[in-house]
Amino acid sequence: MTPIRPDLLRSLAWKQGAAQQRHYELRAGEETIAELDFLKTFGTLARGRTAERSWTFKRAGFLSPIVTARVEGAAEDCALYHPNFSASQGQLRLASGENYEFRLAGVWSRQAALVDGARREVFRLHLKGDAALGATVEVRLPETPEIGLLLLLTWYVLVLQLQDEALRAEPR
């Protein structure tokens, strides 16, 4: 896996591994810079990794779910994501104190953006249908601290939201 560098963050794409697998790669051209793997066929526990570090992600709660991120093997959370009631946006807080807002632009536009505390767009994701088809990522602030964690955590949240959306759409 290639270490994340600002020059690699110009043109990124999330791609799913083999069909029906819950494995995703963040690619900069031919280079893989991050991977996200769900650890069970059904469930929300996942491992995200870059060349520098690995994290685990887990959604907890039902009526008021949150997503936690931990450096793999650590007991303390390094990030928390709290969606709003409609799940169209949410607050992401790093253990270092930095706050971000993750916004879904809506079902029809198929875009999402991460905005920092100064209201600057860190990156924008453009979905190619659903998570299975992937997304392109436009990074606007490549020097953002913890950019690898932010890219992985927001993709994790987006994959879960798309899975939930697909389940709601299934005929009963």
Average pLDDT, the chain: 90
Whether the Cβ atoms of residue 33 and residue 2 lie closer than 8 Å to each other: yes
Of 115, 159, 150, 113, residue with least CA distance to 34: 150
Domains of the chain: 6-165 (2.40.160.200)
CB atoms within 10 A of CB 31: 15
Is the per-residue pLDDT at 30 higher than 90?
A: yes
Q: How far apart are CA 58 and CA 50, in angstroms?
A: 18
Q: How far is CA 2 from CA 26, 29, 47, 146, 159, in A?
A: 11, 11, 17, 16, 23
pLDDT in tens, 38-79: 999 889 999 999 999 999 999 998 777 899 999 999 999 999
DSSP letter for 91, please: E
Instruction: Report CA torsion sign: 132, 31, 94, 92.
Output: negative
pLDDT score recorded for residue 41: 85
Task: Render pLDDT for 109-145 as a digit per residue (tens, 0 to 9).
Answer: 689 999 999 999 999 999 987 666 789 999 999 999 9
Whole-number Å distance between alpha carbons of 1 and 21: 20
> Nearest 5°: CA angle at 156, between 152 and 158?
115
Dihedral sign, Cα of residue 131, residue 137, residue 141, residue 144: positive
Rounded to two decimals, the pTM is 0.93
Cα–Cα distance measured from residue 69 to residue 47, given in angstroms and rounded to the nearest whole number: 9
Kind plus residue range of the DSSP H or E element containing 159: helix 147-169
Q: Cα separation of 40 and 137, whole Å?
A: 26
Angle at 145 between CA 140 and CA 146, to 5 degrees: 100
Task: Mean pLDDT check: name the lowest of 11-15, 89-93, 127-131.
Answer: 127-131
